[in-house]
């Protein structure tokens, strides 16, 4: 029997595509996977070696709830260098089981039932579902392709009510691939200050970004460190999705309540994996930098190729590894299109509707696949659309 809380969480529609793709593969059909939200690169060897070394050295046991001190120090040093901000490794950082745990902790520990949180739409749907199951109301603010998927300040301000407690920023974005312009981050920070809102800043893709786009964290703006929670992790830039490693950084007044939840839900994150994460932060960055260059090459190719398919309109990605073409001119919705592409073109994508109501009439294509496969996918899609 399900609790009323569980009933508030729908099953993810993204699974429908995965399951059908697997079924088709079992029948012998070749599928090009462009639905996947993870880098198609393995974790760099030196990171793997560091975790193996930790295992061999007997680092097998529980560690402090917030994570091993060495990793906490490495995180605050890295962010200190890059953002010119100081955080205490003892009270202002928690190593989490991926960014997803950070989001879960923030919604549980910092918001009350009946509060509202502004979340981008389209966006990674987990925000909405974690929020709903906690009786916090997600209030979507709309992002439109015509506007480069940039937040609209008037729209945000209009949606603020006496119940609004927080705004979530995601940049670069899953699924749009866009990066919020620094000038808009500044203006959103001013809105947050004026209305006494927290900013939950999901920065998981911040290093998968293509010049001239520039990432600005609201935490670095004057006075904003105190109201910004940085949610970041290792999954994407270091290709460590299966390691389940992330962290939250923020002022003690925000991080401390989250630690109370974390200690009972997770205890502490996998100890030897944390030694790998230290190596990720301190060791050779070139495998990740090379991966980003490869993503840029693919993103440039796929966005321009998809734009030439009649009925598809696509914004050039500025970061992450997704494009989010608008397919409304074909007369289909996102579900119909992704279903057809899977069945007839052998290309798996995700319907834009899976990312919120403003994602309707789009599909998400992940270009985390080889250039050869991207080219084949475009050829197949063109052929199906021509029919």
Pick the piece of the chain touching ligand PLP (CB under 6 A) from 54-62, 95-103, 344-352, 369-377. Answer: 95-103
Residues 33-92 that bind ligand PLP (CB under 6 A): 37
Q: Which is nearer to ligand PLP, 174 or 178 (CB)?
A: 174
Beta bridge partners of 365: 323
Backbone angles phi, psi at 128, to 5 degrees: -65, -40
| 204 is a contact residue toward ligand PLP (CB under 6 A) | yes
Tell the smallest beta-carbon distance from residue 266 to ligand PLP (Å): 12
Residues 162-201 that bind ligand PLP (CB under 6 A): 170, 174
Residue 19 in tokens: 């399951």
Q: Which is nearer to ligand PLP, 170 or 258 (CB)?
A: 170
Residues 99-128 that bind ligand PLP (CB under 6 A): 99-100, 124
Contacts of 180 (CB under 8 A, 6+ apart): 150, 151, 169, 171, 188, 216
Tell the smallest beta-carbon distance from residue 125 to ligand PLP (Å): 10
Measured CA to CA, the distance from residue 174 to residue 324 in angstroms comes to 9
Pick the piece of the chain touching ligand PLP (CB under 6 A) from 97-105, 132-140, 309-317, 355-363. Answer: 97-105
Kindly tell me which residue out of 13, 65, 91, 241 binds ligand PLP, with binding defined by CB under 6 A.
241
Instruction: Determine the residue with CB nearest ligand PLP.
Output: 98
| 235 is a contact residue toward ligand PLP (CB under 6 A) | yes
Pick the piece of the chain touching ligand PLP (CB under 6 A) from 20-28, 93-101, 349-357, 370-378. Answer: 93-101
- 343: DSSP letter: I
- Tell me how far CA of residue 358 lies from CA of 88, 246, 265, 326, in angstroms: 39, 28, 33, 11
* Listed residue (266, 269, 253, 267) closest to 109, CA to CA: 253
Q: Is 117 helix (H, G, I), strand (E, B) or coil?
A: strand
142 neighbors 152 (Cβ within 8 angstroms): yes
Tell the smallest beta-carbon distance from residue 48 to ligand PLP (Å): 17
Q: Is 311 helix (H, G, I), strand (E, B) or coil?
A: coil
Residues 279-338 that bind ligand PLP (CB under 6 A): none
SS3 string, 32-82, reads EECCCCCCCCCCCHHHHHHHHHHHHCCCCCCCCCCCCHHHHHHHHHHHHHH
Q: Which is nearer to ligand PLP, 112 or 267 (CB)?
A: 267
Q: H-type helices in the chain, by residue range?
A: 4-7, 14-26, 45-56, 69-83, 99-110, 126-133, 153-158, 182-194, 252-265, 271-282, 286-307, 334-340, 371-386
Cα–Cα–Cα angle for 52, 54, 55, rounded to 5 degrees: 65
Tell the smallest beta-carbon distance from residue 196 to ligand PLP (Å): 25
Pick the piece of the chain touching ligand PLP (CB under 6 A) from 94-102, 296-304, 336-344, 367-375. Answer: 94-102
Q: Which is nearer to ligand PLP, 12 or 256 (CB)?
A: 12
Tell the smallest beta-carbon distance from residue 20 to ligand PLP (Å): 20
Pick the piece of the chain touching ligand PLP (CB under 6 A) from 24-32, 74-82, 96-104, 262-270. Answer: 96-104
| 233 is a contact residue toward ligand PLP (CB under 6 A) | yes
Q: Which residues bind ligand PLP (CB under 6 A)?
A: 37, 98-100, 124, 170, 174, 202, 204, 233, 235, 241, 246
């Amino acid at each position: 029997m399900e609790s009323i809380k569980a009933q508030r969480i729908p099953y993810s529609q993204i699974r429908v595509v995965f399951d059908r793709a697997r079924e088709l593969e079992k029948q012998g059909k070749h599928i090009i996977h462009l639905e996947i939200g993870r880098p198609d690169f393995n974790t760099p060897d030196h990171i793997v070696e560091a975790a193996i070394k930790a295992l061999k050295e007997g680092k097998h046991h529980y560690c402090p709830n917030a994570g091993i001190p060495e990793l906490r120090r490495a995180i605050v040093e890295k962010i200190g260098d890059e953002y010119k901000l100081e955080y205490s490794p003892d009270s202002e950082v928690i190593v989490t089981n991926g960014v997803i745990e950070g989001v879960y902790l923030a919604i549980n520990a910092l918001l009350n039932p009946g509060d509202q949180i502004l979340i981008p739409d389209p966006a990674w749907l987990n925000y909405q579902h974690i929020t709903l199951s906690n009786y916090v109301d997600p209030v979507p603010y709309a992002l439109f392709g015509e506007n480069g998927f940039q937040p609209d300040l008037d729209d945000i301000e209009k949606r603020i009510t006496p119940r609004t407690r927080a705004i979530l920023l995601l940049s670069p974005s899953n699924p749009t691939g866009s990066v919020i312009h620094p000038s808009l981050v500044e203006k959103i920070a001013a809105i947050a200050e004026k209305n006494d809102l927290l900013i939950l800043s999901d920065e998981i893709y911040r290093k998968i970004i293509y010049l001239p786009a520039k990432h600005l964290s609201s935490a670095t703006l004057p006075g904003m460190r105190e109201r910004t929670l940085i949610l970041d992790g290792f999954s994407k830039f270091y290709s460590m999705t299966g390691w389940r490693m992330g962290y939250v950084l923020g002022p003690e007044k925000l991080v401390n309540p989250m630690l109370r939840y974390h200690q009972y839900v997770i205890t502490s994150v996998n100890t030897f994996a944390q030694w790998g994460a230290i190596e990720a932060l301190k060791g050779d960055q070139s495998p990740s930098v090379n991966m980003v260059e490869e993503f840029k090459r693919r993103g440039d190719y796929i966005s321009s190729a998809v734009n030439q398919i009649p009925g598809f309109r696509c914004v050039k990605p500025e970061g992450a590894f997704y494009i989010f073409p608008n397919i409304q001119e074909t007369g289909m919705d996102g579900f119909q299109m992704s279903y057809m592409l899977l069945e007839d073109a052998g290309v798996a994508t995700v319907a834009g509707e899976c990312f919120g109501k403003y994602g309707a009439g789009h599909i998400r294509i992940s270009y985390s696949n080889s250039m050869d496969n991207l080219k084949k996918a475009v050829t197949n899609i063109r052929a199906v659309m021509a029919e």
